[in-house]
Structure 1
Amino acid sequence: MEYSFNQLTTVADCDALLALAGKEKADLEFKQLSLRRSRDSYLERSTQLNSDIQVGESELAALNTVIAGLPEGEIKEDNENRRTRLQFRLFTLNESLEKYGSVALLEKEMEMGLVEKQLEELQLFITALENRKASL
């Protein structure tokens, strides 16, 4: 982007803008670090959730087979209660996967890309501003 650096007429103006740009750069670098850590956490959590869901679905399939072969009685009722708890656990795991799954991971990666572009543009701004300051 073309900036109107020719409007700056004093070194003090340049210094003021450099201070603001430096603060903005520090803020963006912190945000970038936070997003990286968040992405790593989402990736780890997503992998664990997928694994837990697969185990739970296998367990549910086995439990359904067992329940189908049991006669009415206390043992069947206990297994049906166990199945209900397992179904609820799978429901909550799937809900968590929506929050930490591939879509959420891609959102974090998109945010990281945007911050990287902001940092690149800010560095171009700082370089051009330093050049203007040197020419004054």
Structure 2
Amino acid sequence: MKGKTCGLCGKADGEVRQDYRAPNGRLARNSVSFALSWILPAESCKDNTECRMKYESIQLEKKINVHGEDSTCFSVEPVLRCLPGCSPVKTTSVNVGFKCFADDSSRDLSNIFDESVDVRESTEAHLACSCSPQCS
């Protein structure tokens, strides 16, 4: 089975540089991002057996100046976040790539995970969530 497997332990082909391949096919930059990429997200926070988290593109909290223009940046790598109605009780810092758009430009985020990286920044990924009974 050497070289014919995939998953959390890589391809078992002896090539360690490819072992951080996430389920979406991208190569994770570090062990934390790699491990988080294999968590199965929840569809709803109503089921207590689920993780109560989802992967999403997040907006960078600070403004970045790109090519002389103030820009708003969105992650091109998915980040684990609590579902609506839930709040994080445990987080970890992850370094992800962001695509930046001029503040006065229109942006289509439907294919954000296919965009190139303009800047890499640290942000918080949620590891555990507490949810209210009325969560959505």
- TM-score, normalised on structure 1? 0.17
- TM-score, normalised on structure 2? 0.17
The structure, 1 or 2, with the larger RCO (C-alpha pairs under 8 Å, 6+ apart) is 1
| Richer in strand (by share) | 2
| Richer in helix (by share) | 1
